[in-house]
Amino acid sequence: MAMVNSLANVKDSRWLQLEVCREYQRNKCTRPDHECKFAHPTNNVEVQNGRVIACYDSIKGRCNREKPPCKYFHPPQHLKDQLLINGRNHLALKNALLQQMPLQTVLTSQIPMVSPITFTPFPSLSQSIIPLL
């Protein structure tokens, strides 16, 4: 299928994906975007399968795309923090796979902060990793 081919060519941006707030999509979310734990994308942002890709430049604090507006999601601060944690996880997983290191070692040594946070927006990522252990 076309989906599979395009996935193979696209660089790995799974850790930049955020779930879009379903209530927001129905205009029913009562939380402002800086309080809701899901993304509230504006009209110019591309939504695919209920998810948006966060703007990497925006996370770094310097997205200049205005005309036309950026098609990536500019996350509020708490989602940026979440993405940075995801990014570190992602790198740790990648390094673990590359170096054939026990995953647990990498996770506990590099990111001790992560365990109390139960927010896991990428179940598919962890599921795809587990059979490799």
47 touches Zn ion by CB under 5 A: no
24 touches Zn ion by CB under 5 A: yes
Q: Which long-range contacts (CB under 8 A, 24 or more apart) does 35-43 make?
A: 37/78, 37/79, 37/119, 39/73, 39/75, 39/79, 41/73, 42/69
- For 100-115, the DSSP string reads T--HHHHHHHH-TTST
Q: Which of 70, 85, 91, 107 binds Zn ion (CB under 5 A)?
A: 70
8-35 core/surface letters (b: 16 or more CB in 10 A; e: else): eeeeeebbbbbebbeebeeeebeeebee
Nearer to Zn ion, 17 or 58 (CB): 58
Cβ atoms within 10 Å, residue 53 = 20
Q: Which of 19, 25, 36, 103 binds Zn ion (CB under 5 A)?
A: 36
55 touches Zn ion by CB under 5 A: yes
Q: Which stretch binds Zn ion (CB under 5 A): 20-28, 83-91, 98-106, 123-131?
A: 20-28
Nearer to Zn ion, 52 or 55 (CB): 55
Query: Residue 64 CB, nearest distance to Zn ion (Å)?
Result: 8
Nearer to Zn ion, 40 or 90 (CB): 40
User: Is residue 52 within 8 Å of residue 17, measured between CB atoms?
Assistant: yes
Total number of residues that touch Zn ion (CB under 5 A): 9
Q: Where along the sequence are the contacts to Zn ion (CB under 5 A)?
A: 21, 24, 29, 36, 55, 58, 63, 70, 72
